[in-house]
Structures are given as C-alpha cells and as structure tokens.
Amino acid sequence: MSKVKTAYFCSNCGYESTKWVGKCPSCNSWNTFVEEVITKGVEKNDNSWKDYNADKRTSKTILLNEVSATEEDRILTTDGELNRVLGGGIVAGSIVLVAGEPGIGKSTLFLQVGLHLDGVSTLYISGEESEQQIKMRADRLKASNQDFYLLTETATDVLFKEIKKLRPQLVIVDSIQTLHSNFIESSPGSVSQIRECAAEFQRFAKETNTPVFLIGHITKDGTIAGPKILEHMVDTVLQFEGDRHYAYRILRTIKNRFGSTAELGIYEMTGEGMRSVTNPSEILITQKEEQLSGSAIAATLEGMRPLLIEVQALVTQSVYGTPQRTVSGFDLRRLQLLLAVLEKRGGFHFGVKDVFVNIAGGLKVEDPSIDLSVICALLSSFEDIPLPQKICFAGEVGLNGEIRAVNRIEQRIAEAEKLGFEKIIVSKYNKKGFDKQKTGIQIVPVGQVQEVYQLLF
C-alpha cells in the first residue's frame, strides 16, 4: 500500500509546491495554491495495452541509421480545413488537444468529423452531455457513420475497459477537464487530475497507435485550463477561436509535431454544423456600394494560404490632451512604429490625432506584409481621400521609410488576380520574386513611403 501524499498546486498555472505559499513563484498570482492528494492509499495497476494490437513494440536501444524512415499513417477526414491544420490528416498514434471558448463550437466540429468518417470506428466520450443531447445535435448535423459509438462516462478505469472491448480507430474526449482517475484523490478539473488523465490517454495513444482528440477548456485569460505540462505532453495543440458576433470561426495551430504551426482553418457556423470556408478572402473583404476613405486591402499569408483582408483606419483630431491609439486585430506597438515613420519620413503630424485601426472580420494578423496597407489606410483617412477600389498592397515598412520585400510574393499576386484586383503595390526589392509577363494584374514596385503617397494622392 502506497502512503497518502499531498502537494500544493497553483490553480492558475499548475506550479507545484511542497508547502502552501501566498504568492506563486511562477505566475505571481496571490492566494491561488490549493492542497491536492496526489497519491491515494491504493495499489496502482497501470492499464496494460500489450494485447491490444498485433504490432508489438520492443523497448531496446537502436541505432538511428537502422530506423526505417517511413511516412506517418494518416486518416484523411472529409474536412479539408482540419486536414490542412493538422498537416495533412490525423496521424496514427497522435494525441491532439483542442481548446476554445465555451459555446464556440468545439464539440459540434469534432462530432461532425467523427460522423463523416465512414469506415473508421470512432468512439466519442462525453463527460459533459447526455446521449440524448448528443443524438439531437447529430440529427441536426445530418450525417451518419455506422461505426460511430457514444460513451457518457468520466471515470478513466471504466473508459479504458470499454475501449479494450470496442478497439476504436479514433477516440474523441469531450472534455479532459471532466475526467477523473481513481489514483488521484481530488476533484475533476484539478491540476493533478488533468495531468494524470492526459498521461493515461497519452500512454494509450502511443502504445496502441490510436489517435486521440482531447477537447479542453480555457481560462478567463484565454489560456488552456490546467497545467502548462498538458500542452507539452500532446503532439498537437489547436486553438478554436472566433467572435460570437461573427458567423465564422478560426482553427489555429499553436503546436504541431507533424506539420507547420502557421496554418489556419476557417469555418462558418450554420444551423447544420460547421461549413469549411474554401475562399476566406471573399468574406474578409467588406462588400460596399460607395467609396470611403481609410480602407485598404492587404495581400497576406497565413501558413500556406494567401488571404486578402481589409484594413480600416480612422484618423480624427484629438479632443483630449493625449492622443488615443486603439487597435483591433493588429499589434499596437507596430502601429506606433508606423506612425513614427510617417511623422519622421513623411512629415505627417499624427502626434495630434486620435488613430484607430481595425482588421475587418475579427482576424488577428501577425504578418508584417500588411504594414504597407496600414500606412495607406492611415494616409487615406488623414487626407480623407478614398483609395481606388481595385488596388491592394503587400509590403513591410522599415524604420527609414523603405518598403521591404516580403516572401512568397507570387502567391499573393495570384490571389489578388483571382479576386479581380487590377493593381497590386509591392516592394521594388521583390522584383526577383515574380514575372510581370505571366500575370494579368498590374504590378507597381515602390521603394519609399513618399513614393506611395505621390502615387495614390
């Protein structure tokens, strides 16, 4: 019999301490330490997966040159956006953590993925909803998979007994915060319970080569609930984000051991579930009748996908002593840098103006290639002159006012041409990246912010 062992955990970040402390040394939060029993007085008999499948794994030392370099086996879903975000499909034996706001559509998306996987035996474990609630949602999604099984249970020992009986090819857990292990004497959702349950599923996934999706909650700060080690344990971390006021949602990769971390999937929330958006540029550009100042179109990239997004700027006379700088979807420090460049290199007095910048559609953009479109939107609002409708921009702005080259310019030009734009303004240092004869869109190379101003205004 193992003796009872307790420890103190920070409920905010998961930091472990042998004694209670007032201030967390890791996240500096006050009064967040709670005592949890981490070893119960029972003998721990680990779940053994030796007889689960025919492929026996041997634990022995091996030369790296003797390892056969084969492609990972992947399950291709009918959802092209999820395939892209995961790096080309679901890898066998991978464990994926999906987190997002309550009500954003995590359960709907993965229930839909499981129901569309014909020929793949899928087990959907729900600790939050009853069978009737899931059935109602499945009826609304209008999809059926003959090998789709449900289990509403939260005790891990019962779950693994059912998994051994069923032997599914894919497991979806909704959610990891509702599960509890008998080896830990604390309530579901506590740091030690989340860590132990995730470790049990990780062991199952790796030893049986079965992919597992863990749906997780987030805290009020927007970070994934539970200890940070949870993100280190899994192979892939996906963030499902979006605004309740918009119809579409964004699936973003934060960590991926089997693909790029810069990928993005866009979905539209409909009455029949999540619909993949194959051409997001069309929904990210506002359809408007009349020309208005302060609006510019940027040709940006998210992972491998080119996007055209609308940058909106509003420049007004400052009423208060200190001018306001407000941004949505853009970095505030980057905006201050661009305003300083316009003030110093262009002679525009933004120091007495309130400046507001918004990326239309609720996207958060980190690509520096939208600098040029932000500057053009600011100048358009400053002069109160609308920009031509069929023009877009792709360029990074340096501190000397120079327009710097951006990567993969050909893809950006092709996307702008596909959407009917007639002119794209790029850096003159990007000349090697494209052939003017091959494109049907007019490419205008520029070198300095002053040149852009003279060209447009």
Q: Is 265 labelled as part of a ligand binding site?
A: no
Residues 6+ apart with CB under 8 A from 418: none
Asked if residue 9 lies in contact with residue 194, where contact means CB atoms within 8 angstroms, the answer is no
pLDDT, averaged across the chain? 87
Considering only the top CATH level, what class is 283-456?
A: alpha beta
Asked if residue 308 lies in contact with residue 285, where contact means CB atoms within 8 angstroms, the answer is yes
User: What's the confidence (pLDDT) of residue 55?
Assistant: 61
Cα separation of 48 and 163, whole Å? 12
User: What's the confidence (pLDDT) of residue 39?
Assistant: 64
Cα separation of 408 and 299, whole Å? 11
Q: What percent of the chain has pLDDT over 90?
A: 46
For the chain, give every domain's residue range.
5-39, 74-278, 283-456
Q: Of 82, 11, 51, 41, which Cα lies nearest the Cα of 182?
A: 41
Question: What SS3 class is residue 259?
Answer: coil
Q: Is 100 labelled as part of a ligand binding site?
A: yes
Q: Is 105 labelled as part of a ligand binding site?
A: yes
Ranking 69-73, 167-171, 198-202 by mean pLDDT, the lowest is 69-73
**C-alpha dihedral (276, 277, 279, 280), degrees to nearest 10:** -140
Does residue 49 surpass a pLDDT of 90? no
User: What's the confidence (pLDDT) of residue 244?
Assistant: 66
User: What's the confidence (pLDDT) of residue 362?
Assistant: 76
User: What's the confidence (pLDDT) of residue 53?
Assistant: 67
- Residue 442 forms beta bridges with which residues? 423
User: What's the confidence (pLDDT) of residue 433?
Assistant: 63
Q: Of 333, 325, 323, 329, which Cα lies nearest the Cα of 311?
A: 329
User: What's the confidence (pLDDT) of residue 2?
Assistant: 56
Q: Where are the alpha helices (DSSP H) in 96-154?
A: 106-116, 131-141
Q: Where are the alpha helices (DSSP H) in 209-331?
A: 229-233, 280-284
What is the residue-wise DSSP string for 313-376? EEEEE-SSSSPPEEEESS-HHHHHHHHHHHHHHH---GGGEEEEEEETTS-----GGGHHHHHH
User: What's the confidence (pLDDT) of residue 423?
Assistant: 92
Ranking 56-60, 212-216, 346-350 by mean pLDDT, the lowest is 56-60
What does the pLDDT average to over 404-414?
Answer: 90
Q: How many residues in total does the chain contain? A: 457
Q: Is 413 labelled as part of a ligand binding site?
A: no
Does residue 104 surpass a pLDDT of 80? yes
What does the pLDDT average to over 18-44?
Answer: 80
Q: Is 403 labelled as part of a ligand binding site?
A: no
Residues 6+ apart with CB under 8 A from 254: 231, 237, 238, 239, 261
CATH architecture of 74-278: 3-Layer(aba) Sandwich (3.40)
* DSSP-derived secondary structure letter, 66: G
Backbone angles phi, psi at 53, to 5 degrees: -140, 170
Residues 6+ apart with CB under 8 A from 60: none
What does the pLDDT average to over 77-84?
Answer: 90
Q: Is 107 labelled as part of a ligand binding site?
A: yes
Distances (CA, A) of 93 to 73, 125, 207, 209, 299: 9, 17, 8, 4, 37
Q: What's the token pair of residue 401?
A: 């006012």
Q: Is 101 labelled as part of a ligand binding site?
A: yes
pLDDT per residue over 115-171, tens digit each? 999 889 999 999 989 999 999 999 998 888 889 999 999 999 999 999 999 999 999
